[in-house]
Amino acid sequence: MIKASTKESGRLIVLRLDGHANYAPNGQDIVCSAVSILTSAVCNLIPSNRCKTRPGGAVIAFSKYSETERDYLRIVAVGLAQLAKTYPHHVQFDDEAKALS
């Protein structure tokens, strides 16, 4: 299962992703692909020092004071929330920082 969460940390909102969807075999997992593309896309839009990725996880920090970055976070949060709703046994999303608000 992919576990995703948002938390406030000082001037940042941190999105943490851990795990694997295990929806299908490697190379065929559409749930993993969806999370990966959301992560990759947003990491190409924010400063690289605030996006750390590794196999099976990522930590992405968004500035609370940048409306653009908050919009990026909202887009990713909407995508993760939809995936969690559609694939509840494969994605869990805890929006503690209220990114969807």
Percent of the chain with pLDDT over 70: 100
DSSP the chain: -EEEEEEEETTEEEEEEES---SSSTT--HHHHHHHHHHHHHHTTS-GGGEEEETTEEEEEEETT-HHHHHHHHHHHHHHHHHHHH-TTTEEEEETT-TT-
β-bridge mates for residue 23, sequence order: none
Domain ranges, residue 32:
2-95
Number of domains in the chain: 1
Compute the distance between CA of residue 82 and CA of residue 1 in angstroms, rounded to an integer: 15
Q: Is residue 34 part of a domain?
A: yes
Residue 21 placed within a domain: yes
pLDDT level of residue 70 (50, 70, 90 thresholds): very high
| Residue 37's CATH number | 3.30.70.1490
In the predicted structure, residue 100 carries a pLDDT above the cut 90: no
**Residue 89 in domain:** yes
pTM for the structure as a whole: 0.94
Residue 101, in any domain of the structure: no
